[in-house]
Amino acid sequence: MNTFTITHTHHDRAEIVHLHGYLDAHTASQFERDLRVIIEQGDAHVIVDFEHLDYISSAGLGVFMVFIEDIRKQGGDILLAAMRDNVFSVFDLLGFQVLFRIFPTVDEAMAALSNNA
């Protein structure tokens, strides 16, 4: 059974959400629930750390689209960072780069946030 876990750390400017494992149709609803809690409680800015994510399916991708509109209306953003090649290619193929800013590392995403401010 493929597992998926989500952890998050709070930083000055953003909540950093770390994803681990397989994000597919079975784990997407859990991810959505957890992410909702994190977004509602935390900062307007969210950086998603993909470093330990092995796989993402279309259902997993869908979750990001749920929140992006609302969070941008509140002046925040969701930044994606540190994707492995296989995960990046999925985002890339779909054209997600039009919707999300994707960074090679979490630090770069943090830096981008600082520059914006």
Partner 1 sequence: MPITMQVEHNGKQVSGGVRMVVWILLTVVACIAHGTLGVVIPIATSEAGQGWTAQSGILSAIGLVCLLGVVALVAIFVRNRRVQSSFDVVSWFLTVYSVASLALLLLGALTPASIIGSAGIISAVSTRILALASIVVVVGMIGFFVAYMRARPTRRLRAYLITQASLFAVIGLGGLLSVSTEGGVVLVIMATITSSIMTVVNAPRLPWLPTLSLDKKLRLLWLAGCAAFASVLMIVVFFQDDTVLSVAATTLIGRLNLAVGAVYVIGLVAFVRLIVTVLVALPNSSIVDRRSFEIESLAALARLMAESASMEHILTRTTELAVRVTQAHGAWAEVGSGDELNIVATQHVHVDYVRSLHRNQLIRQVIAGASSPVVIDSLAEYGVDTRALAIRSMVIIPIAVDGARCATLVAFMTADFGFHPDDHRLLAAFGDILSIAIEQSRLHASVLEQERLQKEADVAREIQTSLLPRLHPRIEGIDLYGIMVPASEVGGDYFDYVRFADGSFGVVIADVAGKGIPAALYMATLKGAVLAEVREASGPADLLHRLSLTLSGQMDKRSYITMSCVQFQPSTSSLRYARAGHSPMIIKTSTGVDIVRPKGVAIGIVPPETFRTQIEEVELHLVDGDVCLLTTDGVTERRNESMQEMGIAAINALLLNTAAQSAKDIVGQVQRQLDHHAQGADAHDDVTIVAIRACSGSSLPQGQLE
Contact positions vs partner 1 (CB under 8 A): 25, 32, 58-59, 61-63, 65-66, 69, 93-96, 98-99
- Measuring CA to CA, how many Å separate 52 from each of 1, 44, 88, 116? 17, 23, 13, 27
d(CA 7, CA 54) in angstroms, rounded, equals 15
Closest CB 42 distance from partner 1, rounded Å: 21
d(CA 87, CA 11) in angstroms, rounded, equals 25
Q: Which residues contact 110 (CB under 8 A, 6 or more apart)?
A: 11, 13, 14, 47
Closest CB 111 distance from partner 1, rounded Å: 26
Q: Which C-beta is closer to partner 1: that of 27 or that of 110?
A: 27
Q: Distance between terminal CA atoms of the chain?
A: 43
Closest CB 69 distance from partner 1, rounded Å: 8
Q: Which C-beta is closer to partner 1: that of 63 or that of 113?
A: 63
Closest CB 24 distance from partner 1, rounded Å: 9
Q: Which C-beta is closer to partner 1: that of 88 or that of 106?
A: 88
